[in-house]
């Protein structure tokens, strides 16, 4: 599993080298009242049938902060693996679990002592994971983080990522012909 996460991390890091302004995605990363938002950054990489999309936007409010990350590509499924295997736990320091809201399954990891964690919502098409919306948060209680996470339009993001993945794949096929 570490090798898979390493591979996914390398692809996602490389994607920042190909930074592109994705207006249609940037509009989905909304501003939130009382939170200072940075400009979205992102990129896409296409290497031999490996298509990766990564757009992110950071938010802060005093010492509280969170980052929304929109991902697309085949390696994203590795990030969902611990949740898909129902590896839930609740310990003194931290917990991990899966939940469902409005037809979307998502996973939450929360460190109780540090008041930080992540929420990951996989985008699926016929049980294949092709993307995800991720929130990494610090100094925020998980219930507040979940409230902030719900402000984003998950369905539209899922549709846009799927469309982008299919379009990128098709363009790649046409170049080879």
One pLDDT digit (tens) per residue for the chain, 177 residues: 455 555 555 555 544 444 444 677 888 899 999 999 999 988 777 666 667 888 999 999 999 999 999 998 878 888 888 888 877 888 999 999 999 988 899 999 999 999 999 999 999 887 688 899 999 999 999 999 999 999 999 999 999 888 887 776 666 555 555
**Cα–Cα dist 105/90, whole Å:** 19
Query: Distance (Å, rounded) from C-alpha 121 to C-alpha 11?
Result: 19
pLDDT of 112:
95
Nearest partner of 116 among 130, 135, 89, judged by Cα = 135
pTM of this prediction? Answer: 0.82
pLDDT of res. 34: 95
Kindly calculate the radius of gyration of the chain based on its CA atoms and give it in whole angstroms.
16
Are 59 and 66 in contact by the 8 Å Cβ rule? The answer is yes
Q: Which residues contact 18 (CB under 8 A, 6 or more apart)?
A: 43, 44, 45
169 CB-near residues (< 8 Å, 6+ apart): 49, 51
Place of tokens 């570490």: 2
Copy the structure tokens of residue 37.
């938002």
pLDDT at 1: 46
CA–CA distance, 177 with 171 (Å, rounded to integer): 10
């Amino acid at each position: 599993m570490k090798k898979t996460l390493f591979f996914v991390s390398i692809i996602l890091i490389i994607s920042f080298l190909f930074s592109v302004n994705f207006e249609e995605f940037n509009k989905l990363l909304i501003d939130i009242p009382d939170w200072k938002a940075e400009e979205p950054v992102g990129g896409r990489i296409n290497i031999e049938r490996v298509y990766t999309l990564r757009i992110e936007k950071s938010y802060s409010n005093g010492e509280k902060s969170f980052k929304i990350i929109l991902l697309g590509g085949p390696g994203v499924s590795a990030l969902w693996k611990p949740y898909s295997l129902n590896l839930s736990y609740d310990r003194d320091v931290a917990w991990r679990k899966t939940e469902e809201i409005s037809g979307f399954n998502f996973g939450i990891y929360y460190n109780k002592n540090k008041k930080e964690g992540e929420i990951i919502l996989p985008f699926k098409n016929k049980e294949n994971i092709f993307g995800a919306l991720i929130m990494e948060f610090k100094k925020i209680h998980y219930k507040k983080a979940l409230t902030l996470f719900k402000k984003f339009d998950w369905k539209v993001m899922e549709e846009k990522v799927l469309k982008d993945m299919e379009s990128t794949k098709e363009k790649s096929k046409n170049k080879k012909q």
